[in-house]
Structure 1
Amino acid sequence: MMLYPMIELLDGRCVSLFRGRTEEPQIWHVDPVEKVKSFAKAGAEWIQITDFDAMPENERNADLIREIILTAGIQVQLGGGFRSLERITDWINQGVGRIVVGTLALLQPELV
């Protein structure tokens, strides 16, 4: 069995959402990069990152995610806002190991 620790990002911060509502996030006052590094140090091989800002195709967290990819010492599985093959390819080229697709898989299953 493999467990995947996960962080959810909104406005550059780690959050939890109640019923998926971005208007009232529970904010975790931790540095996202340091939190991911702590998971890697504890032995995690992968991290699931969900970028809530990317869902409306916003790149607000892109630099933060790139920093995690380059410095955290852990493989990244990324979800949030993947609506095109170009965006998927771009993140894979930047070092993301796995991409999670939802709406794209439903609307264009031939791409999956």
Structure 2
Amino acid sequence: MSFHPNKMLIIPAVDIKNGKCVQLVQGKPGTEQVIIENPVKVAKNWEDQGAENIHVIDLDGAFGERNNLPLVKNIVEDADVPIQMGGGIRSKEYAQELLNIGVERIILGTLAIENPEIVEELSEEYDSSRIMVSLDSKDSKVVIKGWTEKTSNTAPELGQILQKKGAGGILFTNVDVEGLLKGFNLEPVLELVDAVKIPVVYSGGITSIDDIKELRKTGVKGLVIGSALYKGKIDFNQSLKFQRLD
């Protein structure tokens, strides 16, 4: 599944922790602000409201535990729209397992940055459109391992390297603003979009329809929105009006 040239998809986030749908502040365990019992139902609800893509993150996986796979399977089986999924994909075998159960697009973070060859192997085996890399930026450098370790590279530098290895898209998160509901900085987004030819999806700090309007101007192909949707700061149906770019 590739991105539409004339669309900027609004993609609701379903973050899973301990079998529940949650929203964390800056990805930190213990900062749960929203907890909903049934992630499968939550994902289906977004689809019913018009979502064309669902963003699923296994937060337990991101912190080293892999106990949410049955839930992810249920979401994939229940949904009629593509699921993109990340969180704790630390081996090629697990990436293959997710792709084989029907996850449309996997999001590789630490694994892709530490082993770019795996991106190349997976994109050749499955098609590059199903392989997305996650570049999480903190203080202008990409961070890995659940945002606990800083690399020496910027997002544009790594974006260009991973594009050459066959990545079909980039999920860009600005950790400095993620989950704080205080808006975002356009400059790093523009720098990355200008540096690569593959689609960029933006995540982090989107809190209003005005933010969506601003991000439309950057050339990103999708926006992942979590906290603002769950807390009612952004009306999902209203946000869908801004998906078309023409």
Instruction: Assess same fold via TM > 0.5.
Output: yes
Separation (CA, whole Å) in 2 of partners of 1:5 and 1:107: 28
Residues 1:73 and 2:69 aligned together: no
2:103 to 84, 92, 96: 96
User: Which aligned segments of 4 or more residues in structure 1 are displaced greater than 6 angstroms?
Assistant: none
Separation (CA, whole Å) in 2 of partners of 1:21 and 1:81: 15
2:94 to 87, 93, 96: 87
SS at 1:25 equivalent: coil
Separation (CA, whole Å) in 2 of partners of 1:14 and 1:38: 13
Across the aligned residues of Structure 1 and Structure 2, the Cα RMSD in angstroms comes to 1.4
Unaligned residue ranges in structure 2 (runs of 5+): 1-7, 120-246
Paired residue type of 1:59: R
Q: Any conservation in 2 of the 1:48–1:76 contact (CA below 8 Å)?
A: yes
Question: Which residue number in structure 1 is paired with residue 156 of structure 2?
Answer: none
1:7 deviates by 0.9
Q: Any conservation in 2 of the 1:13–1:27 contact (CA below 8 Å)?
A: no
Separation (CA, whole Å) in 2 of partners of 1:29 and 1:78: 19
Paired residue type of 1:34: K
Separation (CA, whole Å) in 2 of partners of 1:30 and 1:55: 20
Residues 1:44 and 2:44 aligned together: no
1:107 deviates by 0.3
1:23 deviates by 2.5
* % same residue: 36
Paired residue type of 2:77: L
Separation (CA, whole Å) in 1 of partners of 2:64 and 2:35: 23
Paired residue type of 1:104: L
Question: Which residue number in structure 2 is paired with residue 27 of structure 1?
Answer: 34
1:84 deviates by 1.2
Question: Which residue number in structure 2 is paired with residue 8 of structure 1?
Answer: 15
1:29 deviates by 2.6
Separation (CA, whole Å) in 2 of partners of 1:45 and 1:11: 26
Separation (CA, whole Å) in 2 of partners of 1:36 and 1:29: 11
Question: Which residue number in structure 2 is paired with residue 106 of structure 1?
Answer: 113
1:30 deviates by 4.4
**Larger Rg over CA atoms:** 2
Residues 1:59 and 2:88 aligned together: no
TM-score after normalising by structure 2: 0.43
Instruction: Figure out how many residues of one structure are paired with residues of the other and give that number.
Output: 112
Unaligned residue ranges in structure 1 (runs of 5+): none
User: Which protein is richer in strand relative to its size?
Assistant: 1
SS at 1:18 equivalent: coil
